[in-house]
Amino acid sequence: MSRSYCGYNPPPPNFETFFLEKYEDRLQRLPNFGKMRESWETHKRPTLIMLHVFADDFGALEKWMQMSYELADAEVLGRKMDFYVDDVWKAFIFNEDEFSFFRSDEGCSVNSAPLIYAVSAKGEVFFFGDFAGPKSPTLESLSDFCKQVINGNMREPACREPRVENIDLASWDELLYATDEDIALCFYNSLESSAQVNTSLMITLERLADTLKQESVRLYKMDIHGVSVPKKFAVESAPAFFVLQGAQKHNPLRCKYELGIWKMLRFVSENSSQELNYYNRQGQQRLHASLLAHMKDYFNLSSEKFKHFFN
């Protein structure tokens, strides 16, 4: 597979030619830059977007395009929904400021399921899959997905409420050892550290909790002022950040990075029992999750970014 960032030249081989003429009466390719948002906002029609590495091996992947083509028949769903199918390289239109989608992400290969997103008439964006990644569609399951979006019945998968729970020695055993989930634990000192340091740390922890809300990782904080921390943590100073793996909570792992949001996320990603849903072991957001986040922003009706098109 061509290893490149989406949008950077040259495009992958066969990018211009893989889309066969026989599909053009029902399916569309992604347009350039803001044109898709402009067109969608004019009509506000439900829209399906299917992405894959089609340019790498269209023969192996044509079955997915054929599936979209069947659904796009005017007698099936074509009168109620627009259908776009393209190589994932063209996904750069959803993040024109950074061009940050890596086409060779491990979540998108010739052997993987397509990345499928649907946009409702209200600008809501839904992913055909779960937190962990895409699922292989059948004609029936993809049709049901489209119909739910068209009818306004689609709901996002539930994730936990993003929060940082307080813990103390009285609740230590109950909270830490009553679950098989991984634990991320931050020790801080409410009096010895400056108010600015602690305020910044609390904000960072809240951001981390929001980042991990779809993961099987619980986030706790503990004020250690006047408290003897269990010796196995070897806390020399605060703040200090640890990961306790679900099956090895007797062996806490200490973060040696500077305690900022991305370094803490990277540490959790590196040391979680199982790889995180949205982040790889290096703490980099997976392609399916990154695309979802940027598409939500792209089709957000309250966004100021695209209003200049209609002034």
What are the backbone angles phi and psi of residue 130, rounded to the nearest 5°?
A: -130, -170
Beta bridge partners, 134, equal 129
The CATH class given to the 21-157+287-310 domain equals: alpha beta
Kind plus residue range of the DSSP H or E element containing 206? helix 195-211
pLDDT in tens, the chain (311 residues): 344 667 666 888 899 999 999 999 999 999 987 789 988 999 899 999 999 999 999 999 999 999 999 999 999 999 999 999 999 999 989 987 775 676 766 668 899 999 999 999 999 999 999 999 999 999 999 999 999 999 999 999 999 899 999 999 999 888 888 889 999 999 999 988 788 889 999 999 999 999 999 999 999 999 999 998 988 998 988 999 999 999 898 899 999 999 999 999 999 999 999 999 999 999 999 999 999 999 999 999 886 655 544 44
CB atoms within 10 A of CB 42: 10
What are the backbone angles phi and psi of residue 213, rounded to the nearest 5°?
A: -65, -25
| Within this chain, domains 21-157+287-310 and 165-271 share the same CATH topology | yes
Q: Which amino acid is at 302?
A: S
Beta bridge partners, 102, equal 5
Q: How far apart are CA 78 and CA 128, in angstroms?
A: 19
Beta bridge partners, 221, equal 166, 186
- Measured at the alpha carbon of residue 179, what is the angle toward residues 176 and 180, in degrees to the nearest 5? 115
Report pLDDT for 1.
39
Residue boundaries of the structural domains of the chain: 21-157+287-310, 165-271
- Measured at the alpha carbon of residue 186, what is the angle toward residues 184 and 189, in degrees to the nearest 5? 170
Report pLDDT for 103.
74
Q: How far apart are CA 243 and CA 268, in angstroms?
A: 7
CATH no. of 165-271? 3.40.30.10
